[in-house]
C-alpha cells in the first residue's frame, strides 16, 4: 500500500492549530505572566510579574482506517472532534458568565429590540467577552449547524452589509456551518497559536516532518492504516477562548417537558 507523503499543515483550518511531533508521548509547555503587586521598601505597593508555567503531557491516540486512506475523512474526523471539545469548553465558559448572552427573539421583542440588531449585538458582545476573559483577542469565527444558520439568517438576511460575497460575516467574524454542532446552538471561538491557551492538534511525524502513517495487516490479511494524533485543550482556562450561545426559547422547553410527560404517562 502506497502511503501518502503529506505534512500536517495540509490539514490547517480556521478552527484550531496543528503541529507535528516525532513522539507518541509529548508535552506542551508555555509561560503565562500574571501581574500583581508586592510591598516596596517604603510600604507602598510595587508592580511585579509572576510567571506561571503551564505543562500538559499528551499521549497520541490512534485513528484507524480500513483499506483506503482518504484525506477528507481525516479532516472530517478532526473537525468533528474539535467541535465536541469546543462545545464542552463553550458550555463551561457560559456557566460562569455574569450575564445572559443567549439569543431569544421573543425576549428581544418584549424589550422593544429589533431581532436583527439584537442578534448582531449578542454575537459582538460575546466576541468582546472572549477578548476580556481570554486576554488574547476577540472571537475569530462563529459556527453552527445549517438549521441554526438559516434561523439566524431569517432575521438578518436582509442586512446586505453583513455579507462578503456569499459568506456571512458579523463584525470581523466569518459565520461557518458545521452540522456536527448541535441544532439551536451557536459556538464562538478563537484559533490561537500552539503556545497559547485553546485547542490544538498534534500529529505524529517522521524525521522529515511528514505524517507518520503506520500500516498494519490483521489476521484476515486486510491492510489498515493508523494515524497517531490528539486534539487537546491546553493552557490556563482554555474555556475562556470559546463560548456557547443558546437560541432556544420557552416554546422549546415547553415542548420538551410535554414530551417527557408523554414518555412517562403515555399518550
Q: Evaluate if residue 250 carries a pLDDT over 70.
A: no
Name which of 207, 1, 198 is nearest 86 in CA terms. 198
How far is CA 90 from each of CA 81, 125, 138, 143, 208, rounded to the nearest angstrom? 14, 15, 14, 12, 37
- Tens of pLDDT, residue by residue over 46-63, are 555 557 787 889 999 999
Residue scoring higher pLDDT (32 or 233)? 233
- Tens of pLDDT, residue by residue over 134-179, are 999 999 999 999 999 999 999 999 999 999 999 999 999 999 999 9
Question: Which backbone phi and psi does 207 adopt, to 5 degrees?
Answer: -65, -20
Average pLDDT on 216-244 reads 90
Query: What's the mean per-residue pLDDT of the chain?
Result: 88
Residue 188 lies in a domain: yes
Domain tally for the chain? 1
Which domain covers residue 19, as residue numbers?
A: 8-265
What cell numbers appear for 147 in the block?
Answer: 438549521
Residue 194 lies in a domain: yes
Average pLDDT on 11-19 reads 95
Residue 48 lies in a domain: yes
Residue 40 lies in a domain: yes
**What pLDDT shows up at residue 263?**
74
Residue 130 lies in a domain: yes
Average pLDDT on 34-43 reads 51
Average pLDDT on 97-123 reads 94
Residue 184 lies in a domain: yes
Q: Which residue in the block uniquely carries the three cell numbers 439551536?
A: 184
Measured CA to CA, the distance from residue 245 to residue 170 in angstroms comes to 15
Query: Residue 49: which CATH number?
Result: 3.90.1690
Q: How confident is the model at residue 236 (pLDDT cuts 50, 70, 90)?
A: confident
**What pLDDT shows up at residue 35?**
47
Amino acid at each position: 500500500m502506497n502511503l501518502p507523503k503529506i505534512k500536517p499543515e495540509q490539514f490547517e483550518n480556521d478552527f484550531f492549530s496543528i503541529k507535528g511531533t516525532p513522539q507518541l508521548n509529548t508535552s506542551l509547555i508555555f509561560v503565562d505572566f500574571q501581574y500583581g503587586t508586592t510591598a516596596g521598601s517604603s510600604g507602598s505597593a510595587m508592580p511585579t510579574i509572576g510567571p506561571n508555567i503551564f505543562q500538559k503531557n499528551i499521549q497520541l491516540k490512534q485513528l484507524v482506517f480500513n483499506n483506503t486512506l482518504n484525506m477528507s475523512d481525516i479532516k472530517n474526523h478532526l473537525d468533528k472532534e474539535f467541535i465536541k471539545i469546543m462545545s464542552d469548553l463553550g458550555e463551561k465558559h457560559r456557566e460562569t458568565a455574569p450575564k445572559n448572552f443567549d439569543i431569544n427573539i421573543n425576549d428581544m421583542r418584549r424589550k422593544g429590540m429589533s431581532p436583527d440588531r439584537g442578534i448582531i449585538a449578542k454575537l459582538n458582545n460575546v466576541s468582546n467577552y472572549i477578548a476580556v476573559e481570554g486576554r488574547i483577542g476577540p472571537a475569530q469565527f462563529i459556527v453552527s449547524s445549517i438549521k441554526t444558520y438559516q434561523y439566524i439568517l431569517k432575521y438578518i438576511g436582509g442586512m446586505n452589509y453583513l455579507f462578503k460575497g456569499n459568506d456571512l460575516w458579523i463584525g470581523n467574524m466569518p459565520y461557518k456551518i458545521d452540522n456536527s454542532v448541535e441544532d439551536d446552538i451557536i459556538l464562538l471561538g478563537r484559533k490561537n497559536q500552539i503556545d497559547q491557551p485553546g485547542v490544538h492538534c498534534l500529529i505524529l511525524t517522521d524525521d522529515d516532518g511528514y505524517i507518520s502513517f503506520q500500516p498494519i495487516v490483521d489476521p484476515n490479511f486486510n491492510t489498515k492504516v493508523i494515524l497517531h494524533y490528539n486534539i487537546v485543550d491546553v493552557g490556563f482556562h482554555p474555556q475562556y477562548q470559546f463560548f456557547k450561545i443558546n437560541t432556544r426559547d420557552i416554546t422549546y422547553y415547553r415542548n420538551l417537558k410535554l414530551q417527557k410527560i408523554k414518555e412517562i404517562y403515555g399518550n
